[in-house]
Homo-oligomer: A and B are copies of this chain.
Amino acid sequence: MNGRITLAHGDGGELSHRLIQEIFLTAFGSSSAPLMDASIQSMSAPRLAMTTDSFVVKPIFFPGGNIGKLSIAGTVNDLIVSGAKPLYLTCGFIIEEGFPLQDLKIIVQSMAEEAAKSQVSIIAGDTKVVERGSCDGIFINTTGIGAIYEHQHPMPDGMKEGDSVIVTGSIGDHGVAILTARNELGLRTEVLSDCASLNGMLEEALGNTKNIRIMRDPTRGGLATSLVEICEDFKVTIELDEEQIPVRPEVQGACELLGLEPIYLANEGKALIIVGKEEEAKLLEVLRRHPEGANATVIGRVTGTQKGQLQLRTVFGSSRRLNRLSGMLLPRIC
């Protein structure tokens, strides 16, 4: 399909209908959505998780992925780290007039592939077209629902001193891949975004490990911001060991060049897991069986359950308190 998106593709009429038939339904294969204003699905779970994310990443194609793959993996990961089996996703497109149909097709195809890999169904969608100059190419919202794993659900209130803080692999890859792809900072690296759905690995982790207290996917704001939120929300002190945090040499190098810290850079295929120390070895074994978790490692411990603080023991042996990301302008990283 050649050509470009026109305003008429978004008016709800004939061209909208053809766009849905020829691009979206071809890729996503949904059958009920076009007949009704909402898609109807059977559910047997007593509790549901629901999450939403809009993706505005720039550029839309980057090493290791594109906005389509990212939009599926991001929402799948939000569900699985909440202890829910991802089931159904919706997607809402906002597209700029003049956007190449060929690019849309590639993006939609990536979404379909990532959805198939994650075993989720895309069951409803919406497309709006805005005039040239009113949005930057394409923005995608994905919203997902999942069924809570009732018998193996993370219990954040159970966090206690000695609990292990685990990250499933090297951090900052997505952030550096995007900054490189922007070509703005004179940065040249071979770093690929880690953009990936983690539900296969994390479902196995939940099924085979007791005492998982909490899981997070440290996206915007990075590892440090996710951990600060955990510390504040659940009033625990966590001490990170900087030396143990896996960072690729190229990511470290780019950060030094740009004055950034890898712990504040976005990740799109990493999970942060806090688990009882007694289950640490077992959890690492399960994670390392998966390519996404091959470099899973312990990076810190819960050291108190009174104050909500995140501490970093640096490679030089000193210790400093970490706060949320603040004032580092990295817009449109996801």
Looking at A53, A125, A327, which has the most chain B CB atoms within 10 Å of its CB? A53
Task: Determine whether A290 belongs to the interface, using a CB cutoff of 8 Å to chain B.
Answer: no
- Complex interface bits, A77-99 against B, C-beta within 8 A gives 1, otherwise 0: 11101101000101111100100
- A332's nearest neighbour on chain B, judged by CB, is B130
A104-112, A200-208, A219-227, A311-319 - interface stretch:
A219-227
State whether A331 and B11 are in contact (beta carbons under 8 Å apart), knowing that A46-B42, A124-B52 are contacts in the complex. yes
A12 engages B130 (CB within 8 Å): no
Q: CA–CA, A45 to B36, complex, Å? A: 19
Contact with B along A126-156 (1 / 0, CB 8 A): 1011110111100101011110100000001
Is A116 located at the chain interface by the 8 A CB criterion? no
CB distance B50 to A90 under 8 Å? yes
**In this assembly, does A38 line the interface, its C-beta being within 8 Å of a C-beta of chain B?**
yes
Report chain B residues within 8 Å CB of A7: 329, 331
User: Quick one: closest B residue to A136, CB to CB?
Assistant: B134
> Does residue A282 face the partner (Cβ distance < 8 Å to B)?
no
- Report Cα–Cα, A7/B225, bound state, in Å: 17
A295 CB-CB contact with B under 8 Å: no
> Could you tell me if A134 and B135 are in contact, using CB atoms closer than 8 angstroms?
yes
Residues of A292-334 at the interface with B, using a CB-CB cut-off of 8 Å, are 323-333
Cross-chain contact B330 with A11 (CB below 8 angstroms)? yes
Q: Say yes or no for A59: interface residue by CB 8 A criterion.
A: no
Q: How many copies does the complex hold?
A: 2
Q: Which of B41, B93, B326 contacts A50 (CB 8 A)?
A: B41
The answer to whether A48 has its CB under 8 Å from any CB of chain B is yes
Within 8 A of B (CB), among A1-37: 7-8, 10-17, 34-37
Given A143-B141, A331-B10, check contact A233 B34 (CB 8 Å).
yes
> B128–A56 contact, CB under 8 A?
yes
- CB neighbours of A48 from chain B (8 A): 40-43, 145
B13 and A328 contact, CB distance less than 8 A: yes
Q: Which residue of B lies closest to A54 (CB)?
A: B92
CA distance A51 to B145 in the complex (A): 12
> Does A123 lie at the interface of the complex (its beta carbon under 8 Å from any beta carbon of B)?
yes
A228 to chain B, nearest CB (A): 9
Proximity string of chain A (238-276) to chain B, C-beta cutoff 8 Å, 1 when within and 0 when not: 000000000000000000000000001010000000000
Which A positions have Cβ atoms within 8 angstroms of B? 7-8, 10-17, 34-56, 58, 77-79, 81-82, 84, 88, 90-94, 97, 123-126, 128-131, 133-136, 139, 141, 143-146, 148, 156, 216-217, 219-221, 225, 229, 233, 264, 266, 323-333
